[in-house]
Each structure stands twice: as structure tokens, then as C-alpha cells.
Amino acid sequence: LVDVDEVVQEAVDLMLTLAEGKHMSFRVSAAEGLYVYGDGSMLVTALTNLLTNAIAYSPEDTRITVVARRLEDVVEISVSDQGRGISPEDQERVFERFYRVDAARSRATGGTGLGLAIVKHICANHGGEVTLWSREGHGSTFTIRLPRAQVESDGVDPSTSLVAVQPGAKE
Ligand code: ATP
Ligand code: MG
């Protein structure tokens, strides 16, 4: 059982120094009591890949917003930036391995074009998906959606211990 709030905090903490180097700030909003099944360190990797991109492909003095919230039986984690954005044609391709927009210009930012392919892979392994919304010149939002793990404390006092309900079991 993975605590989504912990995953978000850990990923953001890992990226603070890199963001500070570009005078970028984070705004983080993560609901407590949200859980998913899976591998916490893999999910941290997925988020740090998205955050690395948000930092790399945005100008200085911009903000990155991370929101984790519950939508029915889904946990949604979104990473939004105020960067260069991605054209509709490229939006269809950026999750492919080794695909980089304008490879010549992005050579300065290093990268092999694997980051988003890894994010997609990790999400699929967790029974979820990653989607992209972007407007060129304005910014991008990557959204990870994962099945929410139900815990016995759902709807009761959050101070009681958390016990996972069997996946697939009726409520
Ligand atoms: P790597 O992550 O392997 O170091 P990379 O960042 O180039 O290299 P991906 O993370 O897979 O590879 O991203 C693919 C391409 O999508 C990037 O090269 C960039 O052109 C574009 N891209 C990804 N994230 C963003 C973003 N937040 N804003 C604008 N463009 C982006
Ligand atoms: Mg990347």
C-alpha cells in the first residue's frame, strides 16, 4: 500500500535543488488518506521524471503545480508547468521512446527521450495511465491516474490504523 501524499512530498523534495537553480517554485496540494497499490519508489520515479521535464522545458521564475486528489475510485496526480508547451502533433509522440521535440535545440538540455516512456510504463504497471494536456507557449499538464486502494478507515476516524481491503473485494 502506497501513501500518495508521501510519494508526492518525496518527489518534490528530490527536485527542490534543481528547481531553485532556475528560480522556480512549487505549489503542492496533496490530499491525505489517499492510497494506491504498487511500488512507491517507482511512483516517485514517475513523478520525478515529470518534474525534471517541467523544470527543463520551462523558463526561469515560473511555477510548477502538483495536485493529488481523489476522483471516485481513481487517484489523480497532475504536474503543471508554465513552460514552452507541446504542439498537438508532438503530444501524440512524446511518450514514445527516444522521441524528443526539436532534438537539436533540446540537446542543450541533455536527455535521451526516455523519461516519458518510463512514466507511461510505470503507470501501466500500476493499472493506470498518464495523459497530457498542453498549449504551445503557455504550458503543459501531465496527469497520472491510478486505481485508488480502499482502506478500512475510509470514511472513519483517520487516526485509526489503516488496513488494506482486498483488491476487488466488495465494500
Ligand atoms: P530524458 O527524460 O530521457 O532525460 P527527455 O526529457 O528529452 O529526455 P522525455 O522526458 O521522454 O525525454 O520527453 C520527451 C520530449 O517531450 C522532450 O524532449 C521535450 O521535447 C518534450 N517534453 C516533455 N515534457 C515537457 C514539458 N513539460 N514541456 C514541454 N515539452 C516537454
Ligand atoms: Mg525527460
pLDDT in tens, 55-66: 999 999 999 999
The complex's ipTM works out to: 0.99
Distance 55 CA to ligand 2 centre (A): 10
Question: Where is average pLDDT lowest: 53-67, 89-103, 125-139, 148-162?
Answer: 148-162
Residues whose Cβ atom is located within 5 A of ion ligand 2: 53, 115
* pLDDT higher than threshold 80 for residue 104: no
Determine the number of helices (DSSP H) and then strands (DSSP E) in the chain.
Answer: 5, 7
Distance 50 CA to ligand 2 centre (A): 7
pLDDT in tens, 37-49: 999 999 999 999 9
Look at residue 165 in the predicted model and tell me its pLDDT: 62
Q: What is the pTM of this model?
A: 0.91
- CA dihedral (155, 35, 74, 12) in degrees, to 10, reads 130
pLDDT in tens, 64-92: 999 999 999 999 999 999 999 999 999 99
In the predicted model, what is the mean pLDDT of residues 104-121?
A: 84
Q: Do strands 129-135 and 63-71 pair parallel, antiparallel, or not at all (unpaired)?
A: unpaired
Residue 154's alpha-carbon distances to 8, 32, 35, 146, 159, in angstroms, are 20, 11, 10, 17, 11
